[in-house]
Amino acid sequence: MTEPKQNTWTQPFIVFIAAFFCCVLWGSATPAIKSAYEMFRLGPEDTAARLVMAGLRFVIAGVMVICFFSVMERHFLVPKKESYAKIPLLALFQSVGQPYFFFLSLVNTSGVRSSIINASGNFFAILFAAYIFRMEKMTLRKWLGCIAGVVGLVLLLGGFRAILDGTGFTLAGEGAMLAADAFYALGSCLSKVYSRDENPVVLCGYQFLCGGIILFLIGILSGGHLVFYNASCVLVLLYMGFISAGAYAIWGILLKYNPVSKISILGFLNPVMGVLLSAIILGENREALSWNGLLALALVSLGIILVNRDPSVKQNKA
């Protein structure tokens, strides 16, 4: 009797390669956006233009997600009437508040720092889920993960003294990235609540689209505009949209066919790839290879593994 054929998306090698690719995409967000600032010649004071860019990025991402999954489902995805009020609220957190502070931070801090600090969204999410939304129970393992992450961030910023005297921490840089992570974590919790009654793909695609339109309009009304100096400007904008859409599409497929904890734990690769790509693309080798940078990355990655690890899920042995 022949054994049933294993689904391609559950094979360990495919799972790892697909998850790794998603993390490469997410990790490339910081260097891609900082490179886009240079291509569009945006200075630190061009806040309105950055909002226009962020808006276009999320509109593109929303269109990509909706179109891709509509093809997969063989019908055009539309939200339920009950979701009409939920999507704009979700967009305010994940596609307006989060990108506003994220784009602000990237002007005022390095790619390496941004990549490691950005991983703190994992720790915000577990705390918000446990103490605000009551969807999770805090365990010793999760607390240890959060503590490891915090210690890593403190090391990255030069210690408590550097944070307090302002030499290792600025509100417009590191502070803005933490605010972006908090917005995203709140949005993730809301998304989990709303997805009980709505297709999460529909929520994602339309909140990208809604948030992108809001950001774009705010930027335009504030006097912002983008000048496409060459074809590279178009390509980098399309790539930034694909980062969100492509990673979400593949990650969503992995979650569909595998235990959540098995996939979520691979999220530790996000800051690793962010630091590596920032070193390669932005030339931030010195900070990426510094002892406090490497130790901070290791602690934050360990923290992500601890908060996402589910001891109840046993791996099948060959």
Asked if the structure places residue 129 within a domain, the reply is yes
Structure confidence at residue 260 (pLDDT): 67
pLDDT digit string (tens) for 39-85?
999 988 899 999 999 999 999 999 999 999 899 889 999 999 989 99
Which residue range is the domain that position 37 belongs to? 8-308
Asked if the structure places residue 62 within a domain, the reply is yes
Averaged over 91-114, what is the pLDDT? Answer: 90
Sign of CA dihedral 144, 146, 152, 157: negative
Short-list 172, 48, 199, CA closest to 104: 172
Asked if the structure places residue 165 within a domain, the reply is yes
CA atoms within 13 A on the CB side of 189: 21
CA 263 to chain centre: 15
Give alpha helix (H) positions in 92-199: 98-108, 111-118, 121-131, 140-156, 160-165, 176-194
Computed over its alpha carbons, how large is the radius of gyration of the chain? 20
How far is 130 from 93, CA to CA, in rounded Å? 19
Find where tokens 């709505």 sit. 198
Asked if the structure places residue 78 within a domain, the reply is yes
pLDDT digit string (tens) for 118-140?
888 889 988 998 899 888 888 99
Asked if the structure places residue 102 within a domain, the reply is yes
Short-list 21, 51, 77, CA closest to 205: 77
Averaged over 112-123, what is the pLDDT? Answer: 89
Domain count, the chain: 1
Short-list 225, 313, 303, CA closest to 42: 225
Structure confidence at residue 316 (pLDDT): 44
pTM of the model as a whole: 0.85
| Whole-Å CA distances, 44 to 30, 103, 189, 289 | 16, 11, 32, 27
Q: Which two tokens stand for residue 26?
A: 């997410």
Reply yes or no on whether the pLDDT at 284 is more than 50. yes
Confidence of residue 312 (pLDDT cuts 50, 70, 90): low
Short-list 209, 178, 205, CA closest to 102: 178
Asked if the structure places residue 2 within a domain, the reply is no
**Helix (H), strand (E) counts: the chain:** 16, 0
Asked if the structure places residue 314 within a domain, the reply is no
How far is 212 from 204, CA to CA, in rounded Å? 12
Short-list 120, 273, 256, CA closest to 188: 120
